[in-house]
Structure 1
Amino acid sequence: MSEISNLSNYSSWVKTLVDLDETLWSKPISKGKWSVSEIIAHITAWDHHLLSEVIPSVRKEKGMEFPDFEPFNKKASDYAKSGISQSTLLVEAKDTRELLVKELNEIPAEKLNKALTSNGVTHCPHTGTPYSLKYIVKEFTDHDHHHKEQIIHFLKKNSFVV
């Protein structure tokens, strides 16, 4: 599935942030926005959720459950500010994503494509598409892309070439 390989590209991209200056790492990307470290922690937290909650549920052919976004995202932001080092967070992000990709690749296509509920809802309210793990993976790929573009724009603005 191409969406899974798109997810795996993130692991390689995260490695490019290893040499990022500590100041840029923890500076908000714009007024009222998260820092690069908070964005990476945010994506990693969602990867953990997919691994620990969503994939096991899909394997049992049960609906997928997602937590309330605000407190979940706040927890990820707090984690990034907790004193975790840049290198540790980047390794965690890379390793978590690689494990997620491995787990997704082990799921048979029929389970990836099987229609399941997401928080009790059968279809995406924006597209009308039935929810499935494949659909969720596509949403997460789009989510990665959105945050990656934000980071790249911020780094270019601050003369850091990725």
Structure 2
Amino acid sequence: MDNYLLSAFQSLIPFANSLRTMPHDQWIAPLKPGKWPTCAVIGHIMLWDKHFLQEAIRPIAEGKPLTLVDTEFNAFNREAAAYAESISQQQLLDECAAVREELFDLLTALSEDKWTASYFDADGRPFAIEEYLKDFVSHDRHHLEEIDRFIAGSSSIH
């Protein structure tokens, strides 16, 4: 079990909570022209978390086969952005923190055997917990840095 990766993975929760006081006009403003707003980025992260929770991590924790299948990323991401814009800022941040917390709790409760085992998704592709975490920590970092740059740029305008 990689404690550094788990800590980095969990760091999304305080970041999401820090956005609770973001003004609504910033929350829905594109990070850059043609880019998503903060709300869509958070919705995107939360729904990917929910997807992996339901299709991979919970089944691993329960000793069941993974139900994860190849996903059409663009359609999934469009749905995530639309979902994020359909609910309140506080509700989305609550969901984001809750799903990541559940993932973190399940991951930290896994035995070393489950942590290091080789798994296959429903399409027969290999799935490794550590690789999943590395990918998502990197994915989070990319998006959170975008939001941080946006916030820093917005505060220098005012």
TM-score range, shorter chain: 0.7 to 0.9
TM-score by length of structure 2 reads: 0.87
1:1-38 superposed Cα distances (whole Å, 9 cap, x missing partner): 22122111110111111110100100110111110000
2:45 paired residue among 43, 46, 57: 43
2:64 paired residue among 52, 60, 70: 60
Could you list the runs of 4 or more consecutive aligned residues of structure 1 that deviate by over 6 angstroms after TM superposition? Answer: none
- In 2, the alpha carbon distance for the partners of 1:63 and 1:109 equals 22
* Contact preservation (8 Å) 1:63, 1:116: no
1:12 paired residue among 14, 30, 39: 14
- In 2, the alpha carbon distance for the partners of 1:110 and 1:51 equals 19
Give the aligned residue type for 1:100: L
1:157 paired residue among 147, 153, 158: 153
Residues 12/66 of structure 1: CA separation in 2 closer, same or farther (3 Å cut): farther
Identity %: 30
- In 2, the alpha carbon distance for the partners of 1:16 and 1:62 equals 33
Residues 37/115 of structure 1: CA separation in 2 closer, same or farther (3 Å cut): same
CA RMSD in angstroms comes to 1.8
In structure 2, the partner of 1:112 is 115
Residues 17/159 of structure 1: CA separation in 2 closer, same or farther (3 Å cut): same
Q: Shift in Å at residue 57 of structure 1? A: 3.8
Higher normalized helix content (fraction of residues): 2
* Contact preservation (8 Å) 2:16, 2:93: yes
* Contact preservation (8 Å) 1:44, 1:93: yes
* Contact preservation (8 Å) 1:27, 1:35: yes
TM-score by length of structure 1 reads: 0.85
Gaps of 5+ in 1: 123-130
* Contact preservation (8 Å) 2:58, 2:106: no
In structure 2, the partner of 1:99 is 102
* Contact preservation (8 Å) 1:41, 1:77: yes
Q: Shift in Å at residue 71 of structure 1? A: 1.1
Residues 45/9 of structure 1: CA separation in 2 closer, same or farther (3 Å cut): same
Give the aligned residue type for 2:111: P
* Contact preservation (8 Å) 1:61, 1:111: no
Q: What SS does structure 2 have at the residue aligned with 1:27?
A: coil
Give the aligned residue type for 1:44: M
* Contact preservation (8 Å) 2:55, 2:67: no
1:70 paired residue among 74, 78, 87: 74
Pairing 1:81–2:119 present: no
Q: Give the length in aligned residue pairs.
A: 151
Pairing 1:146–2:142 present: yes
